[in-house]
Amino acid sequence: MEEPLVPVVPMSHTAHIRSHRKPRRSASKIAMRAGVAGGILGTVAVAGASASANAAEPVTQTIELPTLTSDVAAQVAQSADTMQQAAANYELQAERDAAAAKAAKQAEADLKEAKAEAKKKAEAERRAAAERATRSAERTTLTSTSGSTEAAAPASGSVATVISFLKAQVGDAYVMGATGPNAWDCSSLVQAAFRQAGVDLPRVSQDQSTVGTEVSLSNLQVGDILYWGAKGSAYHTGVYIGGGKYLDAANPSKGVVIQDLSGYPATGAVRVL
């Protein structure tokens, strides 16, 4: 039996050269890679849908602030206390400044008042010294010329002595219970004046209203003793010096003065000279 003939296929001129194409991947690897890619695409699709849904809905979630720790809370409280204390200190300083300004203003006013008072007092002392010097000169003159005539209140002899002494005391102070030489009450002045003429009168007004001879107020003469109040219980005395005037130690505010009898009419009068 003859062997079949095998056809001879002519070889390509490149058959001996290794193919330059990549070897084919197996079907299983291709399937696996396709599955992975499909899963990734599905995930991306789901994520995109979720993002679209979230973008369509408004955000309503509340963001909570972190809870302060005890240290932070203490620092905040301390800061608040510090600010409150600073405000209190500022207010206190403002009050002190206002008080200091007020005190300075008051001190300035007090200083001005003190200066004015000192000036006034110095002037009063100067005048008082001048008056005392004048009265001293008048007393000296009275001692050497006891019989001189008073022009404003004409009188002679012992009456002139009384009137001269009284006028020399004008401006002296009134002090209850005082008996001279620079302060008197009403009855001590009358007593001292008549003592210059040798007449010894009682010390108090009540008794002075009862001495001598009672005279009418319409028939007064220079040197008559005037009294206020009932006879025997008079509360004030003075001496008539003529011309409708009298001289007395009036009160603490006036001292020894000459006054008009019409302004304070006497109750009665007595005459001892």
> All domains of the chain, ordered by start, with CATH?
145-271 (3.90.1720.10)
- Are the C-beta atoms of 190 and 199 separated by less than 8 Å? no
- Are the C-beta atoms of 190 and 200 separated by less than 8 Å? no
- Are the C-beta atoms of 242 and 153 separated by less than 8 Å? yes
Predicted local distance difference test score (pLDDT) of residue 261? 96
Sign of the CA dihedral running 87, 88, 91, 92 = negative
H or E element at residue 185: none
pLDDT in tens, the chain (273 residues): 555 555 554 554 554 545 545 555 554 554 455 454 455 445 444 444 444 444 445 555 555 555 556 677 777 777 888 888 888 888 888 888 888 888 888 988 888 888 788 777 777 777 766 655 555 554 444 444 433 333 333 444 699 999 999 999 999 999 999 999 999 999 999 999 999 999 999 999 999 999 999 999 999 999 999 999 999 999 999 999 999 999 999 999 999 999 999 999 999 999 999
* E strand intervals along 178-235: 183-184, 213-215, 225-228
Predicted local distance difference test score (pLDDT) of residue 2? 52
Indicate the pairing of strand 225-228 with strand 268-271: antiparallel
C-alpha to C-alpha distance for 159 and 182, rounded to whole angstroms:
22
- Are the C-beta atoms of 250 and 258 separated by less than 8 Å? no
Predicted local distance difference test score (pLDDT) of residue 199? 95
Predicted local distance difference test score (pLDDT) of residue 141? 47
Helix residue spans in 145-196 (DSSP H): 158-168, 186-195
Query: For 208, what's the count of Cα atoms within 13 Å in the CB-facing half-sphere?
Result: 30
DSSP letter (8 states) at residue 252: T
> How much is the CA Rg of the chain, to the nearest whole Å?
66
